[in-house]
A = this chain, B = another copy of it.
Amino acid sequence: MTEPRVKPAQFTLTTGPVNCYPEVLLALGRPVSYDYDPVFQDFYEALSRKLQKAMGSETMPVILQGEPVLGLEAVAASLVGPQDHVLNLVSGVYGAAYGFWLRPHAASMTELRVDYNRIVTPDLLRQALHEHPETTIVALCHHDTPSGTLNPLPELAAVVREHGALLLVDSVSAWGGVEVSLEGIDVLVTGPNKCLGCPPSLSIVAASPRAWAHMKANPTAPRDSILSVLDWEEAWISGHPFPFTPSVAELNGLDAGLDRYIAEGPETVWARHARTAAAMRAGVKAMGLDLWAAEEAFASPTATAIRLPEGVDETALRTLMQTDFGVVVSSGRAETFNKLIRVGHMGPTAYPMYAVIALTALHGAMARLTDRPLNLGAAIEAAAAI
């Protein structure tokens, strides 16, 4: 091979968008209904109830009509008001970036930071809340995707609940791939385009009764705007008008994605996400590479971040993986850029065989870029043994 030329991917093993389940791709092609058609409105209500059940949400989740960055921006604007003191937990690039949207709405914002290859612990959180007893809202990025690390949500939620603040969680790239109890969570933002195996275009927001009350009492919460969460509160009820035209085709896709998730069984889905990530980590280590996470226990079941060896350029590496093996993976972002690559294990790619595929491509590309001895055979055997 002399001229690496990029060819269409055979395997999109990224942290999202991932390719979708076949059922979802087909559902996108269903006839597009008028949003005032009662048949569509019945569908929307049934879809909302299906989503509520899948999430275990006390109230009806809201579907916002844009990929999860919309959900995150809208929730920041809707929940955080001039009386709020925010504690933003930062264990990675996305957690840090979220402060940009939280801060302008709040009376104050404090950050609890840890290294980007570590996680926020309950002890650190307890101490931060002790130092900032005025905190009314704690914000957490559950899976900080650019690091591939997963914060201990239930334990952190318990600490927040004890303190009394509201807990706002970005679980975009974790929900659906790992068990998430809404117990102790006030707002959870996620999307269909990661572990549910749907395309990017919608946000999902589940809020507790007290979070709804907080948003309604917030004088700066947007109304009559795409950034409004409140506008959508009753949109799910058949017969109620939508604030604006929802993304009909994407909702059809979400419907199919939820049906598949429920039919397969959430526990089964979570288990294969976990097993795929475990296979990937075992393979990476056996190959002779290092995980990005400071401790393996920090690594997410929905993505694996691999530290780049000295002198290996991430663009060169990813290009070779695509050119020579048809495998597309994700780079780092901001502070993690050019320090790691990431392999997603999400939805249709959360099967252990995809760890084998990723390891094979990773080894093949790496071998052209570094003299470091790397053992493909050992990697595959370790992955296959999980």
Contacts and interface: CB of A to CB of B under 8 A. Distances in A.
A309 interface: no
A158 interface: no
A65 interface: yes
Contacts of A384: 360, 363-364, 376
Contact of A376 (B19, B30, B380): B380
A351 B248 contact: no
Interface in A2-52: 6-12, 14, 16-20, 22, 25-39
A328 B377 contact: no
Interface string A371-386: 0000111101100100
Nearest to A268: B7
Interface string A193-228: 100000111000000000000000000000011110
Given A33-B17, A34-B9, A249-B249, A351 B380 contact: no
A9 to B, nearest CB: 6
A122 interface: no
Contacts of A328: 34, 37
Given A65-B67, A67-B245, A227-B226, A39 B9 contact: yes
A8 B380 CA distance: 23
B31 A19 contact: yes
Contacts of A70: 66, 226
Interface string A293-337: 000000000000000000000000000001001111011000000
Contact of A26 (B26, B250, B326, B357): B26
A351 B377 contact: no
Given A19-B32, A73-B225, A200-B245, A37 B10 contact: no
B10 A353 contact: yes
Contacts of A69: 226, 244-245
A38 B78 CA distance: 36
Given A32-B19, A199-B32, A353-B326, A37 B9 contact: yes
Between A11, A247, A357, the greatest number of chain B beta carbons within 10 A of the residue's beta carbon is seen for A247
Interface of A: 6-12, 14, 16-20, 22, 25-39, 65-67, 69-70, 73, 100, 193, 199-201, 224-227, 244-250, 253, 322, 325-328, 330-331, 351-353, 356-357, 360-361, 363-364, 375-378, 380-381, 384
Given A201-B247, A325-B352, 19 more contacts: A6-B39, A9-B34, A12-B32, A12-B37, A14-B34, A17-B245, A20-B31, A26-B27, A26-B29, A38-B322, A67-B244, A69-B244, A199-B250, A200-B245, A249-B249, A326-B353, A356-B356, A377-B380, A380-B380
